[in-house]
Chain A
Amino acid sequence: AQSVAQPEDQVNVAEGNPLTVKCTYSVSGNPYLFWYVQYPNRGLQFLLKYITGDNLVKGSYGFEAEFNKSQTSFHLKKQSALVSDSALYFCAVRDSGTASKLTFGTGTRLQVTL
């Protein structure tokens, strides 16, 4: 079985400050890890993924994430938050041995204020 935990329902940060959105996962095999963002009444928009290789992956809009195998974590980060980053962020995992479903966390709402 595979699972994802996003321990924070909401993260608040001031514009211009760095942000971190936390994610831990559990899979039986090697993990494929993803971050998606969701704006109100919209579908999910892909941000970045870790499949293999460098533990630090860079994605869209200045976001990056660090894969840590020993801590089974894949935290999303950005050096300087923007008000327009305010949205719902989902971490997802799938086992590299399967071709199908993603398992998502419950989401973290990011609120960036002036």
Chain B
Amino acid sequence: DTGVSQDPRHKITKRGQNVTFRCDPISEHNRLYWYRQTLGQGPEFLTYFQNEAQLEKSRLLSDRFSAERPKGSFSTLEIQRTEQGDSAMYLCASNPGTDTQYFGPGTRLTVL
């Protein structure tokens, strides 16, 4: 399978714990995006990388959130001191510098 992959697919954590998600984009896609989707809503943009550079961050991305893309390949999204409001599906997408973003299966986070 050469699509976007995300790990883990599901994560259950207790409030206050830190969590980290990983996204592996399609090979040689230089752009990588993170979105958050809550129940009944469309995905909302969080942040965007071109290669290893983080070029844009949404105001949704509070200080507890950090994303990295070392070496311009895979990316990680970390949430520190999780809150119940962080419960959502976290989606990763990539594209090779063209128009279409290709999405991974998502990581569903549940904060108890």
- Known A101-B33, A101-B56: A45·B99 in contact at CB below 8 Å: no
Give Cα A34 to B98, complex, Å.
13
The number of A-B residue pairs with CB atoms under 8 Å apart is: 59
Q: Find out whether the CB atom of A44 lies under 8 angstroms from the CB atom of B40.
A: no
Interface pair B42/A45, CB less than 8 Å apart = no
Q: Are B48's CB and A104's CB within 8 A?
A: no
- B41, A102: Cβ atoms under 8 Å? no
Pairwise interchain contact B103-A36, C-beta atoms closer than 8 A: yes
State the main secondary structure of chain B at its contact with A.
Answer: strand
For residue A90, CB closer than 8 A to chain B, the reply is: yes
Find out whether the CB atom of B100 lies under 8 angstroms from the CB atom of A34.
Answer: yes
Chain A residue contacts of B48, Cβ below 8 A: 99-101
Q: Please determine whether A105 and B42 come into contact, CB atoms closer than 8 angstroms.
A: yes
Taking the nearest CB of chain A, how far is it from the CB of B19, in angstroms?
Answer: 19
Residue of B40, B55, B108 near A41 (CB, 8 A) is: B108
- Once the chains are docked, how many angstroms separate the CA of A105 from the CA of B40? 11
Q: How far is the CB of B111 from chain A (nearest CB, A)?
A: 18
Given contacts A90-B43, A100-B48, A102-B45, contact A45 B103 (CB under 8 A): yes
Known interface pairs A44-B91, A99-B31; A104-B100 also in contact (CB < 8 Å): no
Q: Which residues of A contact B102 (CB under 8 A)?
A: 46
Which positions in A face B, CB cutoff 8 Å? Answer: 4, 32, 34, 36, 41-46, 49, 51, 90, 92, 99-107
Q: Which B residues contact A (CB, under 8 angstroms)?
A: 4, 6, 31, 33, 35, 40-45, 48, 50, 55-56, 58, 91, 93, 99-106, 108
